A and B are shown apart, each in its own frame.
Chain A
Amino acid sequence: MLTQTIDLQKLVKSEKVTPRRERKPVSQVKTEYSNETIWMLAVRDDRDRGAFAALFDHFAPRLKGFIIKGGASPQQAEEIVQDVMLTIWRKADMFDPHRAQVSAWVYQIARNRRIDIARKENRPMPEALKEEPELEPDASQILGLEQETTQLKCALAALKPEQREVIEKAYLGELTHQEISTQTGLPLGTIKSRIRLGLQRLRHELKDLTQ
């Protein structure tokens, strides 16, 4: 149903890239990676401490706010922030910008740390997919994912406040799976349609990795 119009140019990071043709007009066409992606790649590939400090300045206060919202005390929250930031540094090689935005990757780590601490057992995680090391980064894929995340952000911002609140609760881990499936105010359908493009893209990406 969806026809992909991906610019097949393979480009190295931080070079300008011709914007791929859009299905829908978007207010701004991104031609460069976001700061977070650039910092994260510098941490992953060059063990760049300055870039890590920049990531800290960006994410640590947000993570603290996010974890407090999830019910932790400010002191507990700082301990978890410390844990999450060190995990970002230590597991940087697991970051794959073709499949996840930095924020999504950090979210996943933050949820893991929170659960590991609360339950005193590790949260079961899917097997990691191994990226082919010799593959050149596909800039159009990385930028496309960033762009779709921007669209997702707009979609979430356009929700009614009460819907937005339910979504926040769900992703903060405050709703059970039964509550998520029965919440009438939860526009999972809306979200799903907004992330469909991203899903198509991710599936395409994953097909190569899972034989």
Chain B
Amino acid sequence: MSAITHHVPDAILAAYAAGSLPQAFAVAVASHVSLCAHCRAALEAHQAVGGVILEDTEAVAVSSSLRNSILDQLDVPFTPEPVYERNGIYPGPVIEAMQGRAPRWKKLGMGVRQDILSADAQGSVRLLYIPPGQAVPDHSHNGLEMTLVLHGSFSDETGRFGVGDLEIADETVEHTPVADPGAACICLAATDARLRFNALVPRLLQPLFRI
């Protein structure tokens, strides 16, 4: 596996540590961090900052019953939350987003397939399967889009992205990612706005449909 060269920008990592990142991006960041020791270290450093701020926060007295109530609960049996382990090319947070199931690919045309893991007004998370040499279908997005490579690689005007690399593009970035020849490219794509593929729209009309 080649080294990861495209990382999470600091502001986004800080927002992830603080929990202010939209859920869709949090899935992408948690997945990247699962694959990238560099960003895991940076994340832990952000958590250290958060810890110092917590330490320095002015204490507010807790009610007198809270302490005993918690100490009394230490022996109460509890069900641990499920742990989603990495499975093949899919890191734990992706498996969690799929709730443990295998990908359910739906054809988008031109050999491209997708599996929408979640989509609502706050954003969407999907898996994309792009055959070797094929371009990612033209799509519209308003805000930010994060693309994490899980298998194969793609290239666009900004560079080459291999396994573990995270591309972050906003609406000002005009790019046409193309899967590199050789292996199919499987990516996790997260957006904070509705994403619409224009696969059925004739290519000449696509500029009209772009937002």
Contacts and interface: CB of A to CB of B under 8 A. Distances in A.
B44 A63 contact: no
B11 A180 contact: yes
Contacts, number: 209
Interface residues of B, number: 64
A16 interface: no
Interface string B152-192: 00000000000000000000000000000000000000000
Interface stretch (B72-80, B126-134, B200-208): B72-80
A185 to B, nearest CB: 13
A128 B81 CA distance: 13
Q: Which of B53, B69, B92, B97 has the most CB of A within 10 A?
A: B53
A60 B62 contact: yes
Interface in B53-74: 53-63, 66-67, 69-71, 73-74
Contacts of A115: 19
A206 interface: yes
Nearest to B93: A124
Interface residues of A, number: 81
A105 B17 CA distance: 11
B150 interface: no
Interface in A49-101: 49, 52-53, 56-57, 59-66, 68-69, 74, 77-78, 81-82, 85-86, 89-90, 99-101
B142 to A, nearest CB: 13
By DSSP majority rule, is chain A's interface helix, strand, loop, or mixed? helix
Interface string B111-133: 00000000000000000000000
B47 A175 contact: no
Contacts of B97: 124
A65 B44 contact: no
A114 B19 contact: yes
Given A107-B47, A126-B40, A127-B86, A121 B23 contact: yes
Given A82-B69, A86-B70, A177-B11, A152 B55 contact: no
B23 A149 contact: no
B50 to A, nearest CB: 4
Contacts of A60: 62, 66-67
A100 B195 CA distance: 38
B17 A111 contact: yes
A35 to B, nearest CB: 12
A27 interface: no
B80 A106 contact: no
Contact of A206 (B37, B50, B56): B37
Q: Which of B34, B54, B66 has the most CB of A within 10 A?
A: B54
A158 interface: no
Contacts of B55: 62, 103, 153
B60 A100 contact: no
Contact of A66 (B11, B27, B48, B54): B54
Interface stretch (A7-15, A17-25, A134-142, A195-203): A195-203
A53 B53 contact: no
A156 interface: yes
Given A101-B51, A152-B49, A153-B52, A62 B62 contact: no
A181 B11 contact: yes
Contacts of B25: 177
Contacts of B17: 108, 111, 171
A157 B70 CA distance: 33
B47 A177 contact: no
A198 B45 CA distance: 7
Top 4 nearest A-B pairs by Cβ distance?
A: A103-B51, A104-B51, A61-B59, A181-B11
16 contacts: A77-B60, A90-B78, A99-B44, A101-B51, A104-B44, A107-B50, A112-B19, A126-B33, A128-B83, A152-B48, A153-B55, A157-B56, A171-B53, A175-B20, A177-B14, A202-B45
